[in-house]
Amino acid sequence: MSEVRSPCTKKCTLDENEICLGCRRSIGEIMQWSRADNEQKRQILARVAARRTREASTTSGAGRGGDSG
């Protein structure tokens, strides 16, 4: 099985929750990556995907207030 590639986008800036704005990994996940096996890396990527989904659903409803007219 091939090595799981890093999601790093080389845009490393942490938000107020210590989540990278580029790859969406937490600082702990970034630090763990080099020591993680492929299964652990897949688990990190699954958390990143869930984080992106949550953020997209939060952002898409922002400012709408539920009233269409």
3-state secondary structure 25-45: CEHHHHHHHCCCCHHHHHHHH
Q: Tell me, what's the pLDDT at 52?
A: 93
Q: Tell me, what's the pLDDT at 63?
A: 54
Phi/psi at 55 (5° precision): -65, -40
Residue of 59, 63, 5, 10 lying closest to 34 (CA atoms):
5
pTM, two decimal places:
0.79
Predicted confidence band of residue 62 (pLDDT cuts 50, 70, 90): low
Predicted confidence band of residue 65 (pLDDT cuts 50, 70, 90): low
Region of residue 33 (left: phi > 0; alpha: psi -120 to 50; beta: else): alpha
pLDDT tens-digit readout, 2-58: 899 999 999 999 999 999 999 999 999 999 999 999 999 999 999 999 999 998 998
